[in-house]
Amino acid sequence: MNVSRYCSAFVLCAIGWPAIGADVDAAEDNPWSGEVEFGYIASSGNTDSTSGTARVLVAYVTGDWEHKAEAKVFGASEDDDTTAENYQIWGKSLKNLTDRSYAFGRLEWKKNRFSGYPEQTFETIGYGRRILDDERFTLNIEGGLGATQQDKLIAEDPDVIEDENSGLLTLGGDFTWAISETSTFEQLLAINSSSDNTYWESITRLKANVIGGVALAIGYTIQGNTDVDAGTEKTDRFTSISLEYAF
């Protein structure tokens, strides 16, 4: 797996998508915004290893409606053997009911080649509440119901997959702390629980502005499944150091 070439192509394609919306309205009240992120680490010597990550987030706000979509990929290899391959795409629309509350719908697809659940899809609708919302701190919590389709890995060589389709309960929240004018701390937590499995994800990010819209971002992601086959790890962890451009 050529991580650097794949991530570079991903970012170039991703940049083209928000650029279409950016031409719609070039005024100062442009409803479009977003972030593009890319990171790459390589080492050589007794062991040759590479890892790369790419992410694009696009947001569109109009009236009481807010729409967001994100795509991201993480890959790693060691001595030409792929050791990590993770893809994730989600979209979310929310309708503000008051200054503090909103209703939302979310669709998410993820693929993790080395997970006990190689592929998972979640569809949810729910209610969110803004607990904190000021210049320094924001805290949102959410809850909802939906459905999930999950492929569970039962055996390898060859792979044996079992389909798990069921209802879903989702809980989540996100916290942002503006530490200073140039640095931000972010924490996100999502839990998708079904009768077969509970998938959870924690994302911790620290960003420091470098120049203009460019920032250095350090991230730590943990993804977990509670019901995996024997011999498969329940959690996957990803650490990233990357540059982010906000537009």
Q: What's the structural domain count of the chain?
A: 1
Read off the amino acid at residue 53.
Answer: T
Check whether 16 has a pLDDT greater than 70. Answer: no
Check whether 231 has a pLDDT greater than 90. Answer: no
**For 16, phi and psi rounded to 5 degrees?**
-65, -30
pLDDT band at residue 177 using 50, 70 and 90 as cut-offs = very high
Give me the pLDDT at residue 159, please: 76
Give me the pLDDT at residue 131, please: 97
- The whole-angstrom separation of Cα 48 and Cα 122 is 36
- Residue 72: strand pairing partners: 55, 88
Please answer whether residues 105 and 127 qualify as being in contact, where contact means their C-beta atoms are separated by less than 8 angstroms. Answer: no
Q: Please state which of the ranges 112-121, 156-165, 232-241 shows the lowest mean pLDDT.
A: 156-165
Check whether 125 has a pLDDT greater than 90. Answer: yes
pTM confidence score? 0.83
Q: Hey, CA dihedral for 52, 117, 34, 131, is it positive or negative?
A: negative
Check whether 11 has a pLDDT greater than 70. Answer: no
Give the range of the structural domain holding residue 204, as residue numbers without chain letter.
3-246
Q: How does the average pLDDT of the chain come out, rounded? A: 88
pLDDT band at residue 43 using 50, 70 and 90 as cut-offs = confident
**For position 148, which CATH number holds?**
2.40.160.40
- The whole-angstrom separation of Cα 125 and Cα 132 is 22
Minimal CA–CA distance to 31: which of 64, 1, 53, 6?
64
